[in-house]
A and B are shown apart, each in its own frame.
Chain A
């Protein structure tokens, strides 16, 4: 009961103080909200990058073309060599003879069937379709396969993939730097708000110290105040970022430029984003107030 009463008083005092120093509280809350909106952008971007990368990984395959002169043994040799490579997911390696490919083409497109009929010889090359385990090493794997005897060429969507991954990593790192810088600034601003609170309540604090109030009870309202500022900032940031993301999701019909890059649905990331924003907000607020309480309370 005693602890509940003390915590209750701490929370009451904290809320009183938020309203008493309203303009400063607004400044701190705005700063926290701005920081957290950027955290949210970084977070939502990361979810999407991961999602898109996974999607790309799913469709990304290396097509290995085999010399038209190669016989069945040679083709078999190529297949075995490919499967020996560590990064190759050997269970998914598929072999298509040139006859199979021709049949496939005829079925897909009647015009192609006509063209193929006019030719004396099947112009297609037998090929292996190879899946990799780690998509970031796909170019090394492709090169390795290219070295195998009887392989004439290998193809994969190298340029698009590399460019996309580069853009994403720049975006992610940029957000990270901005977030760290803003978190530091925000912590200082919260600290400053708490400093003002401490000064405006210095008489009360002095009396508390003299009448034997424990340090924890003296500090508690300031910690709660920092936490409350952080949580309010977090809620505002959450509202702004989710609303904006819902809007973007609707506007783009849930895809980014191409169907290959679908956006993550807002509902599936709402809870995670909320947890991260509120936790970061609360912690930054508390960190700021702990800094100030240590420096200015002198207890």
Chain B
């Protein structure tokens, strides 16, 4: 079985909007995959199914051999400890420093201070922000803030990193900077990376596997693919 497998997945929201229809997909361990498509094509829904923020109405969603669609609410946290998530709006806590933001998940897991310090410094080193660890988020540029988000996502060395439009709020230069770090982490940690994005330039530059969704249906899946022009917004 592949690291990620989606079998006949359907997702219809309570308001009647159909987000995914009969989606079948497999992703191998260590792969770097872009998910592209227009707004409302089901990209975010697909990522949310993977970290069990949403459940499919039908079908199976396997992550690391576990059918997360059947995971009980009380056990979801165990899955999420193995997944790092990076968001478009960074989701940093403004009153905490860079160091504290990255340490935050580990603190809630009850890890010891020494262990936390060790892991946080490694993560900050990986995203090149060790020098800024005492700064607060509002003292950083957008790109740096997203790198803090990335450091928080990788601090527990997850097997899967999900990025939901991570460069959506960044200009092209900062986007490239963040992407370089994500690529580096993919190579260094061997984590599988799934990234939902609109960013044509990034997709074309990275030459990775590209999955394209349209109205919840998979319309193309190519290795080393490019952004599909007619789906451009």
Q: Which residues from chain B contact A184 at a C-beta distance below 8 Å?
A: none
Q: Which residues from chain B contact A211 at a C-beta distance below 8 Å?
A: 80-81, 85, 104-105, 108, 152
Q: Which residues from chain B contact A204 at a C-beta distance below 8 Å?
A: 93
- Contact status of A213 and B77, CB under 8 A, knowing A5-B110, A5-B112: yes
- Contact status of A2 and B110, CB under 8 A, knowing A211-B80, A212-B80: yes
Q: Which residues from chain A contact B104 at a C-beta distance below 8 Å?
A: 207, 211
Size category of the A interface is 20 to 34
Q: Which residues from chain B contact A115 at a C-beta distance below 8 Å?
A: none
Chain A nearest CB from B92 CB (Å) reads 8
Task: Check A6 for interface membership: any CB of B closer than 8 A.
Answer: yes
Q: Is the CB of B74 within 8 A of A210?
A: no
Tell me the dominant secondary structure on chain A's binding face: helix
Task: Check B173 for interface membership: any CB of A closer than 8 A.
Answer: no
Interface residues of B in 50-85 (CB under 8 A from A): 51, 53, 73-74, 77-83, 85
Task: Check A203 for interface membership: any CB of B closer than 8 A.
Answer: yes
Q: Is the CB of A206 within 8 A of B91?
A: yes
Q: Which residues from chain A contact B74 at a C-beta distance below 8 Å?
A: 215
Task: Check A9 for interface membership: any CB of B closer than 8 A.
Answer: yes
Q: Is the CB of B112 within 8 A of A217?
A: no
Q: Is the CB of A217 within 8 A of B93?
A: no
Cα distance A211–B53 in the bound complex, in angstroms: 12
Q: Is the CB of A6 within 8 A of B91?
A: no
Please, which residue of chain B has its CB at the minimum distance from the CB of A203? B93
Q: Which residues from chain A contact B80 at a C-beta distance below 8 Å?
A: 209-212
Partner of B81 from A1, A203, A207, A212 at Cβ < 8 Å: A212
Partner of A210 from B85, B109, B111 at Cβ < 8 Å: B85
Task: Check B107 for interface membership: any CB of A closer than 8 A.
Answer: yes
Please, which residue of chain A has its CB at the minimum distance from the CB of B53? A210
Chain B nearest CB from A105 CB (Å) reads 82
Task: Check A112 for interface membership: any CB of B closer than 8 A.
Answer: no
Q: Is the CB of A9 within 8 A of B107?
A: yes
Q: Is the CB of A212 within 8 A of B112?
A: no
Task: Check A253 for interface membership: any CB of B closer than 8 A.
Answer: no
Q: Is the CB of A217 within 8 A of B85?
A: no
Partner of A213 from B51, B82, B85, B109 at Cβ < 8 Å: B109
Q: Which residues from chain B contact A214 at a C-beta distance below 8 Å?
A: 77, 108
Chain B nearest CB from A11 CB (Å) reads 14
Q: Which residues from chain A contact B110 at a C-beta distance below 8 Å?
A: 2-3, 5-6, 9, 217
Please, which residue of chain B has its CB at the minimum distance from the CB of A214? B77
Q: Which residues from chain A contact B77 at a C-beta distance below 8 Å?
A: 209, 212-215
Q: Which of B53, B78, B109, B110 has the most CB of A within 10 A?
A: B110
Interface residues of A in 79-107 (CB under 8 A from B): none
Cα distance A46–B108 in the bound complex, in angstroms: 47
Please, which residue of chain B has its CB at the minimum distance from the CB of A9? B107
Q: Which residues from chain A contact B79 at a C-beta distance below 8 Å?
A: 212
Interface residues of B in 156-176 (CB under 8 A from A): 156
List 8 A–B pairs whose Cβ atoms lie within 8 Å, in order of A's numbering. Answer: A2-B110, A6-B110, A203-B93, A210-B53, A211-B80, A212-B105, A214-B108, A299-B73
Chain A residues proximal to chain B, CB less than 8 Å: 1-3, 5-6, 9, 203-204, 206-215, 217-218, 299
Beyond the given A210-B80, A210-B91, A213-B77, please list 19 additional residue pairs across the A-B interface where CB-CB is below 8 A.
A1-B112, A2-B111, A5-B110, A9-B107, A9-B108, A204-B93, A207-B91, A207-B93, A208-B105, A208-B108, A211-B85, A211-B105, A212-B79, A212-B82, A212-B105, A213-B105, A213-B109, A214-B77, A215-B77
Chain B residues proximal to chain A, CB less than 8 Å: 51, 53, 73-74, 77-83, 85, 91, 93, 104-105, 107-112, 152, 156
